[in-house]
Amino acid sequence: MISRDKAPTAQETFMQMAQAAGLRGRLLVTLGILFLIRMGIHIPIPGINREQFAQAISGNNQVLSFLDIFSGGGLSALGVFALGILPYINASIIIQLLTAAIPSLENLQKNEGEAGRRKISQISRYVSLGWAIIQSTFLAQFWLNNDKFALHPGPLFVAQTAIALVAGSMFVMWASELITERGVGNGASLLIFVNIVATLPKALGDTISFVETGSRETVGRVVVLLLLFLATIVGIVFVQEGMRRIPIISARRQVGRRVLAEQRSFLPLRLNQGGVMPIIFAAAILSLPLLAQQFIKNPEYSKIVSTYLVPGGSGSWAYAIIYLVSIVFFSYFYSSLIVNPVDVAQNLKKMGSSIPGIRPGRATSEYIERVLNRLTFLGAIFLGLIAIIPTAVETALKVPTFRGLGATSLLILVGVAIDTSKQIQTYVISQRYEGMVKQ
């Protein structure tokens, strides 16, 4: 017998994944789409000299190497999925910022229910299409400007390259939504997760070669960095699982002739409401100046970007500050979207529930907002420090093999893994309750 109040064990989870048709089908859909996307990355774009571009990627071009991490090697492979999910992520940032600023979009999100959310999703797709057209055109023009990259320079090269990249990006966007709807986990997050995992074998291989060709001091530096990465993973888990439980008391109710005594429960507020999305959005925002550097032929602009907006540059302190501020901003932004203190206070009042020592209504909403702001600040600062410190230590230890694959990637990997495992556990619990109903 399995207690309905206990979290599912690993054995029960794997049994349900193998036996439950619904969960098994969702897992197969997710794995199949992810495999298809990985195969599509290696479908080549015609008309480009891959050998010359691969040399530019593998060299000291930090901008291209950094962007290649988030495309899962699609940029260096020059595949039709080179843009990947980035246009959709950037479009989501734009729409969510506009939702907070435009009342009509805010009304669609909050008051129109499922129909409003579908409308916002449709608008996000159109914005993603426009953004993909802009990015693909700039990328094709960049390849055209470098004669050693384009095999047949001309306007036709720009047009066909842009069309191939836009089509690939739209397919990836559709695949991510299909995973979210019919698979397990958030599609966009899982695609970024797989892209980062795909770069791990190369990073580990380069590290092994770096250790073999170095001295004992080199081995010590690599061991220190790996231990720091392990400590970072532990810290990420604590941040993702951290929660503040606000006690709630429900008033006495009479159901028929029975009088139900007051019930005690709690309102869970996570330390990091936005999960991994603030990190993804901050990284996507910081990648825009790096991408623009390839097309803006201005030495001063290139110098500023290479110095202050690239991890590991001479002005890495500026990059760290900008990155930290971006994480804090998107943490507060996501927190405001996920939890609305006014709505929570109104719902508690309608249910006849209250927080001990706090009056219902406005006082409750102000109390929840105050607690939420403190939690968000602590979570954002801790996430920012986790993202910055390993990169700084990596630069100080002079271990270049993990360049671009630092704490940001670890945050995304651990965060997405935790969120996906929780969703799988939710399906397992739902299967458990269905079994109880049948019995």
We report the CATH number of the domain holding residue 229 as 1.10.3370.10
- Asked whether residue 143 is assigned to any structural domain, the reply reads no
| pLDDT score of 314 | 55
DSSP label at 150? Answer: B
Name the packing angle between helices 316-338 and 277-293 (round to 10°): 140
Counting the structural domains of the chain, the total is 1
How confident is the prediction along the chain (439 residues), in pLDDT tens digits per residue? 344 456 666 666 767 666 667 778 888 888 999 888 888 887 878 777 777 666 666 554 555 555 566 565 666 667 788 888 888 888 887 887 788 778 888 787 777 777 887 888 888 899 999 988 988 888 787 777 765 677 777 778 888 888 988 998 899 899 988 998 888 888 888 888 888 888 777 777 777 787 777 777 777 877 887 888 788 788 778 877 788 888 888 766 655 566 555 677 788 888 877 776 777 777 777 777 776 776 677 778 777 777 777 665 555 677 778 888 888 888 888 887 778 888 888 888 887 788 888 888 888 888 888 998 898 888 888 877 877 777 677 767 776 656 555 666 777 788 788 888 888 888 777 766 655 445 4
- Asked whether residue 207 is assigned to any structural domain, the reply reads no
71, 81, 309, 405 alpha-carbon torsion, rounded to 10°: 10
Kindly report the CA angle at 225 between 223 and 228, in degrees rounded to 5? 110
- Asked whether residue 164 is assigned to any structural domain, the reply reads no
Kindly report the CA angle at 406 between 402 and 411, in degrees rounded to 5? 145
- Asked whether residue 199 is assigned to any structural domain, the reply reads no
Is 302 within 8 Å of 296 (Cβ atoms)?
Answer: yes
Q: Which domain holds residue 219?
A: 1-7+214-439
- Asked whether residue 116 is assigned to any structural domain, the reply reads no
Sort 189 into a burial class: Cβ within 10 Å, 0-12 / 13-18 / 19+. buried
Residue type present at position 192:
I
- The three-state secondary structure class of 4 is coil
What gap in Å lies between CA 188 and CA 33, rounded to an integer?
A: 12
- Asked whether residue 181 is assigned to any structural domain, the reply reads no
DSSP per residue, 29-94 = HHHHHHHHHHHHTTSBPTTB-HHHHHHHHHTT-HHHHHHHHHTTTHHHHTBTTSSTTHHHHHHHHH
pTM: 0.74
- Asked whether residue 392 is assigned to any structural domain, the reply reads yes
> What sign does the CA torsion over 340, 341, 345, 351 have?
positive
DSSP per residue, 336-353 = HHH--HHHHHHHHHHTTE
288, 292, 293, 295 alpha-carbon torsion, rounded to 10°: 160
- Asked whether residue 129 is assigned to any structural domain, the reply reads no
Residues 6 or more apart in contact with residue 102 via CB below 8 angstroms: none
Strands 258-260 and 263-270: what pairing?
unpaired
| pLDDT score of 274 | 73
Strands of 243-250's sheet, edge to edge?
263-270, 243-250, 353-354
Structure tokens at 225: 């960095």
Residue type present at position 1:
M
CA atoms within 13 A of residue 342's CA, in its CB half-sphere: 3
Q: 351 φ, ψ to 5°?
A: -85, 0
